[in-house]
Structure 1
């Protein structure tokens, strides 16, 4: 996923079609919530002009993330669409999808990795809450309950106080 400026200028009138598989497994060390990630497919095209290179990319793959509730592995497929523009000289610094070419080559892999990291969700939930590898949902003296169960439960220390207010309302 690296092209020299000279190679891209030779493709100026033809255009460039991209369809590659890339190994991004090193993202597991960058983000501990990514337990595994399959090789990603990167496809799209590049528009080449004299001073500007625009890449229209689609990045597809699957990553394994921990369920927020049970910690079992959840398969999370992703498809990211992005347009990245590279300029040979100054550019509009307010545009996040614009870059200045550094050196004599364009390498898309750092951008692909950044886009994948931005795609990692804050929480994922398993479709199988009773998975055999799941974290236990109860133990000695405790249990995980839903919000509805929590709201309907009255603290036993305050139960007599509730009766006191009921007696005052009747008087």
Structure 2
């Protein structure tokens, strides 16, 4: 869904309302090849309002499913998408100073509002850093290999505190004062 600024000017009094199913899987895979394995058709409901000061307000509610690689094993993980976005588009870059840094305000590029790009950007921005399969969540075993293993944050903190003294090699104790002045 792309709308030219001239098309949107007629929606000053009443917002342009939409309720559509968007198929953005190919675009998502091209833009985020290492992140998106699959993307279902997205149900998108919302509105676009053209304000008197020539700002454009996009409000959209998006639902669907996305399949991503597990951050631990790269196995496919399907997650539900339920996302609400509210963004403001302005023409003059100088006006960015008028808004708080946390407000979602963007420059309208080429006098065109690209709703598809806004939706994909928001979906990817909302993804958690750690994505695990159901089995990985249930199984507390972390990956390991020859001469290496992954430890949890709590185990790492315990090692930093010195709670793991059984693995400490006393020959390294002389190095404790090496960098002290």
The alignment's TM-score, normalised by the length of structure 1, stands at 0.67
Distance in 1 (CA, whole Å) between partners of 2:94 and 2:146 is 62
Which of the residues 98, 110, 130 maps onto 1:103?
110
Task: Note if contact 1:91-1:100 (Cα within 8 Å) is conserved in structure 2.
Answer: no
What is the deviation of 1:54?
0.8
Task: Note if contact 1:67-1:74 (Cα within 8 Å) is conserved in structure 2.
Answer: yes
2:17 corresponds in structure 1 to 17
Distance in 2 (CA, whole Å) between partners of 1:85 and 1:7 is 17
Distance in 2 (CA, whole Å) between partners of 1:124 and 1:30 is 19
What is the deviation of 1:81?
1.7
The alignment status of 1:127 with 2:134, answered yes or no, reads yes
The structure having more radius of gyration, on CA atoms, is 1
1:30 corresponds in structure 2 to 31
Indicate the structure with greater helix content.
2
1:63 corresponds in structure 2 to 66
1:85-123 deviation line (CA, Å, top 9, x unaligned) = 123445532545223333343222222221122122211
User: SS where residue 7 of structure 1 aligns?
Assistant: helix
Q: Which runs of 4+ in 1 moved over 6 A?
A: 137-146
Q: Measured at CA, do residues 65 and 10 of structure 1 come closer, stay the same or move farther in structure 2, by a change above 3 Å? A: same
Q: Measured at CA, do residues 143 and 120 of structure 1 come closer, stay the same or move farther in structure 2, by a change above 3 Å? A: closer
Which of the residues 40, 43, 49 maps onto 1:41?
43
User: SS where residue 10 of structure 1 aligns?
Assistant: helix
Aligned length: 152
Task: Note if contact 1:91-1:98 (Cα within 8 Å) is conserved in structure 2.
Answer: no
1:31-66 deviation line (CA, Å, top 9, x unaligned) = 313221112222112222231221112222211122
Q: Measured at CA, do residues 138 and 107 of structure 1 come closer, stay the same or move farther in structure 2, by a change above 3 Å? A: closer
Task: Note if contact 2:11-2:49 (Cα within 8 Å) is conserved in structure 1.
Answer: no
The alignment status of 1:4 with 2:4, answered yes or no, reads yes
